[in-house]
Amino acid sequence: MANSLYNGTACRIPVRDQCPVVNSSSRHVFRSISFSSNLSYLPLKTLEMGLEKHVEQNRMVVKAMTDFDARGVDIDIDISLSPRVNALKPSKTVAISDQATALVQAGVPVIRLAAGEPDFDTPAVIAEVGINAIREGYTRYTPNAGTLELRQAICHKLKEENGITYTPDQIVVSNGAKQSLTQAVIAVCSPGDEVIIPAPFWVSYPEMARLADATPVILPTSISDNFLLDPKLLESKITERSRVLILCSPSNPTGSVYPKKLLEEIAQIVAKYPRLLVISDEIYEHIIYAPATHTSFASLPGMWDRTLTVNGFSKAFAMTGWRLGYLAGPKHFAAACGKIQSQFTSGASSISQKAAVAALGMGYAGGEAVSTMVKAFRERRDFLIKSFSEMGGIKISEPQGAFYLFLDFSSYYGREAEGFGKIEDSESLCRYLLDKGQVAMVPGSAFGDDSCIRISYAASLTTLQAAVERIKKALTPLSSAALV
């Protein structure tokens, strides 16, 4: 079952109900065809059909054959997809999380350490405001860019906590930070532009670039440098086509935090290139461990005009299901993102926006409720660092923020696992640990670094203790296995 996650997932070809050969006496016959990135199907009612796949000059045609009458009827249905969509890869973190959930629902005791989702409930004060919004009938459309109340609250937060000043017309509230990021990339990139992305990267960044018909340019970083971008490497890769540099601090997947001095060095390089903009993903800013501190890139000298800052409520406020994020930037960029949103989803949930105002009113950096969560995350991080350090054969970069460990397990590659086969890379090791240890994690290849595995510690300490024991037990046979 685990192999289907990595090697392709069965799906059914969709066929429209409006097909003119429907026969009410026909039986449903569906034939599954394996694809790697499509998990949906639309059944054709009361039609007996067989499906034969053809690929012809990048155009897929399916012939539906029926016994509608004595003559038989053939229909050619063009189910080709946009090359832009075909170029996208499905999110491996979402896929693994979904499969781990399915295994648990099927009775398999899998410990899920794949999803980047806090295990805490939304603070009660936030939830109560959302509930009251429903009771009071605050359930209608809001302005496309967000309510004025929320945008004003965001402006206040950014000035007080981040040292950057905006007006409400420079804020666009969206259905999650992911939407804000995607709209930002689409708004500023043209076909052929380059989007510079340090690796390890969040899985969606390169796909956002491809969706905008831009080219992702991946810059590797090293675990010995705490996965931080080397400014000299950055400058060596900038070309006349470079349009966007995406920075994420604290980082998903590494938990690395960019020191202010390093950001200033990067800013000096960015300033030399008039076309180069920066998208600063700051969704984890409040989940940070002292002595590390957060610096907003737009607060650096000369960077306000060329920075699009993205943040949201999912991580720090444990509001993943509320689906709410925002973008802050110069008015012309914000307006462009708002234009996309107006034709894409329109405004975010009215209820979530009311709750977000309450979240921003909880105090500096989320107040006591957020600091309590951060304290728990730090305790979990410290436990995992100590536990994996004792195992041996694992390289560790201690995260300064977020709730992920990005550990180098490459010393286990090339070993033969009895009853499983050869451990070749991060994907096969994750399959092995899911199969033998029943712990779900994400292979580093999804983040652009195949030597590592991402472990989310957004789970209780008891759960993490059990996971460590399972991982240790599963790795023990590999430690003694000879390299193949």
- 15-19, 216-220, 313-317, 474-478: which range is least confident on average? 15-19
The pLDDT of residue 74 is 56
Backbone angles phi, psi at 365, to 5 degrees: 55, 30
**What's the whole-number mean pLDDT along residues 141-147?**
98
For residue 468, what is the enclosing H or E element? helix 461-480
Q: Round to whole Å and give the CA distance between 15 and 64.
A: 9
Pair of tokens at residue 406: 């990005």
Pairing of strands 277-281, 242-248: parallel
Reported as half-sphere exposure (CB side, CA atoms, 13 A), residue 422 has a value of: 7
DSSP state, residue 265: H
Confirm if 116 and 287 have CB atoms less than 8 A apart: no
The full DSSP string for 89-106 is ---HHHHHHHHHHHHHHT
- 37-51, 88-102, 244-258, 301-315: which range is least confident on average? 37-51
- 100-109, 157-166, 345-354: which range is least confident on average? 100-109
- Tens digits of per-residue pLDDT, 7-18? 433 333 343 333
The pLDDT of residue 72 is 55
In 159-284, DSSP assigns E strands to 171-174, 194-199, 215-220, 242-248, 277-281
Q: Round to whole Å and give the CA distance between 383 and 51.
A: 53
Confirm if 336 and 188 have CB atoms less than 8 A apart: yes
Q: How would residue 459 be classed by pLDDT, with cut points 50, 70 and 90?
A: very high
Task: Please state, rounded to an integer, the average pLDDT across all residues of the chain.
Answer: 86
Residues of the chain with pLDDT > 90, as a percent, come to 75
The pLDDT of residue 484 is 61
- Tens digits of per-residue pLDDT, 24-67? 333 333 233 332 333 332 233 322 333 333 334 334 434 443 44
Q: Higher confidence at residue 44 or residue 462? A: 462
Q: Round to whole Å and give the CA distance between 249 and 256.
A: 7
Identity at 256, one-letter amino acid code: S
The pLDDT of residue 54 is 33
Pair of tokens at residue 383: 């436990």
Q: Round to whole Å and give the CA distance between 364 and 349.
A: 24
Confirm if 478 and 417 have CB atoms less than 8 A apart: yes
For residue 382, what is the enclosing H or E element? helix 367-391
- 52-56, 280-284, 319-323, 411-415: which range is least confident on average? 52-56
Confirm if 313 and 179 have CB atoms less than 8 A apart: no
- 238-242, 385-389, 457-461, 475-479: which range is least confident on average? 475-479
Q: Round to whole Å and give the CA distance between 268 and 253.
A: 26
The pLDDT of residue 56 is 42
Q: Higher confidence at residue 74 or residue 309? A: 309
Residue 12: count of CB within 10 angstroms of its CB: 17
Reported as half-sphere exposure (CB side, CA atoms, 13 A), residue 204 has a value of: 14
Look at residue 232 and tell me whether its pLDDT is greater than 90: yes
Which residues, including other chains, have CB under 8 Å from residue 265's CB and lie 6 or more apart? 231
pTM over 0.85: no
Confirm if 195 and 209 have CB atoms less than 8 A apart: yes
Backbone angles phi, psi at 381, to 5 degrees: -55, -50
- Tens digits of per-residue pLDDT, 246-300? 999 999 999 999 999 999 999 999 999 999 999 999 999 999 999 999 999 999 9
Pair of tokens at residue 150: 């929320």
The pLDDT of residue 71 is 52
The pLDDT of residue 73 is 55
The pLDDT of residue 115 is 86
Confirm if 407 and 396 have CB atoms less than 8 A apart: yes
Q: How would residue 68 be classed by pLDDT, with cut points 50, 70 and 90?
A: very low
